[in-house]
């Protein structure tokens, strides 16, 4: 019986041909192909400005730097995510402030935002993380931000093509950050993208990405080497063409798992009102996760336990004075486990996953 893997990048002949074309051109570093990818991706999301970069993490850092967030500022984000959602604030000298999550959607909610602002009225920016493929309630979060004059950055690393009330994740805030890591809904192998509403801020970001240069060897500001290569962008252009199909396959796969998983020990994913979930992960909750993980392994079914600790309780944050008690996140981190949902799965493999989960006792 073959192992069912938790993720598998969907790369075909189109990506191979695009990469070979870049290699044959001799222009393999950042250049015209990157510009083409930026234009295509900004059009897809519905944001006017895009700057490609080396990863989703650098995208987050660049967004904060370009928006003027720095030393002494406070940035609100979720306690339950990949650590980059908070590390980006630390990189620029700001302090992350953490919220709890909704126990069924796993997301920061408008109520969490309001509570945090009561405790920390000097918060300058919100990083809203669209986790596992489902967006936050961005309309309510944007209303709060406008009332308080706060900047909003959307962390869309796991939500390529997700929608809230008919509008794409990444098109609400002042900035939006995407990752193209191999496990994402689309990939460039490694890479990221940061989108902006304000062209002037976008141009500052473009300087930051490439050593502060507008003109070669003339450095206007202190910048970084966070560029994307033409090779990565060539893959991204082809992947973007396939993204809608990939997302529909993920949604079909999730619907099949929802239909056939029926185990009282398991809670299947919840889709929030107004959301179009693109199922970067199909994340369930299990009453005895360690035993379920062991059982899945025995059945040769891959799984993911992505956030066994909340961000503020990570060892690297010890002694920084962050609150580490978040009742919902502390429960979810012990129960959440992700099952394969990627587009390459067959119906037989999906049924095998559902049968295994149903037979777990």
- pTM here is 0.97
Q: Which pLDDT belongs to residue 81?
A: 98
Closest CA to 282 of 166, 191, 158, 192: 158
Smallest Cα–Cα separation from 305: which of 268, 332, 273? 332
What burial class does residue 225 get, using C-beta atoms within 10 Å of its C-beta: 0-12 exposed, 13-18 middle, 19+ buried? exposed
pLDDT, the chain, mean:
97
User: Which token pair is 46?
Assistant: 């519905």
Provide the pLDDT for residue 1.
80
Q: What percent of the chain has pLDDT over 90?
A: 100
Who contacts 356 (Cβ-Cβ below 8 Å, separation ≥6)? 295, 296, 299, 301
263 vs 142: CA distance, rounded Å: 38
All domains in the chain, ordered by first residue: 13-99+106-238 (3.40.640.10), 243-359 (3.90.1150.10)
**What phi and psi, each to the nearest 5 degrees, are found at residue 247?**
-65, -40
Question: 103: which 2 tokens?
Answer: 């126990």
- Residue environment code for 121-151, b if the CB has 16+ CB neighbours within 10 A, otherwise e: eebbbbbbbbbbbbbbbbeebbeebeeeebb
Phi (first) and psi of residue 357, to 5 degrees: -65, -40
- Tokens 């001799």: give the residue: 26
Q: With a cut of 90, say whether residue 59 has pLDDT above it.
A: yes
Q: Give the CA angle between residues 343, 105, 90 to the nearest 5°.
A: 95
Q: Per DSSP, what are the bridge partners of residue 96?
A: 75
What does the pLDDT look like over 154-177, one tens digit per residue? 999 999 999 999 999 999 999 999
Query: 9 falls in which pLDDT band (50, 70, 90)?
Result: very high
Of 80, 28, 105, which is closest to residue 285 (Cα–Cα)? Answer: 105
User: What tens digit of pLDDT does each residue of 335-357 get?
Assistant: 999 999 999 999 999 999 999 99
Strand partners, 153: 127, 175
pLDDT at 341: 98
Q: Residue 204: pLDDT above 90? A: yes
């Amino acid at each position: 019986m073959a192992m069912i893997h938790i993720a598998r990048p969907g790369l075909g002949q189109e990506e191979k041909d695009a990469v070979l074309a870049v290699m044959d051109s001799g222009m393999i570093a950042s250049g015209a192909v990157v510009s083409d990818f930026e234009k295509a991706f900004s059009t897809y999301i519905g944001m006017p400005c895009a700057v490609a970069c080396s990863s989703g993490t650098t995208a987050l850092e660049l967004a904060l730097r370009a928006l003027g967030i720095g030393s002494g500022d406070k940035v609100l984000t979720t306690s339950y995510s990949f650590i980059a959602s908070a590390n980006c604030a630390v990189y620029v000298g700001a302090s992350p402030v953490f919220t709890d999550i909704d126990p069924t959607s796993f997301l920061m909610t408008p109520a969490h935002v309001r509570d945090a602002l009561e405790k920390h009225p000097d918060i300058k920016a919100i990083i809203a993380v669209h986790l596992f493929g489902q967006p936050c309630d961005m309309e309510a979060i944007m209303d709060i931000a406008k009332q308080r004059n706060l900047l909003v950055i959307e962390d869309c690393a796991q939500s390529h093509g997700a929608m809230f009330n008919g509008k794409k994740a990444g098109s609400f805030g002042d900035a939006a950050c995407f990752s193209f890591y191999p496990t994402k809904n689309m990939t460039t192998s490694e890479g990221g993208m940061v989108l902006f509403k304000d062209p002037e801020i976008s141009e500052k970001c473009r300087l930051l990405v490439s050593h502060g240069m507008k003109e070669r060897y003339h450095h206007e500001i202190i910048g970084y080497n966070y560029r994307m290569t033409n090779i990565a962008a060539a893959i991204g252009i082809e992947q973007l063409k396939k993204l809608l199909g990939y997302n529909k396959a993920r949604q079909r796969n999730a619907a099949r798992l929802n239909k056939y998983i029926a185990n009282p020990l398991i809670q299947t994913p919840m889709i929030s009102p107004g959301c179009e979930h693109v199922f970067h992960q199909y994340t369930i909750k299990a009453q005895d996760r360690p035993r379920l993980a062991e059982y899945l392994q025995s059945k040769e079914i891959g799984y993911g336990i992505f956030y066994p600790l909340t961000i503020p309780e990570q060892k690297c944050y010890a002694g920084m004075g962050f609150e580490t008690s978040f009742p919902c996140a502390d429960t979810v981190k012990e129960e959440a486990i992700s099952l394969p949902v990627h587009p390459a799965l067959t119906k037989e493999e999906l049924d095998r996953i559902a049968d295994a989960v149903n037979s777990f006792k």
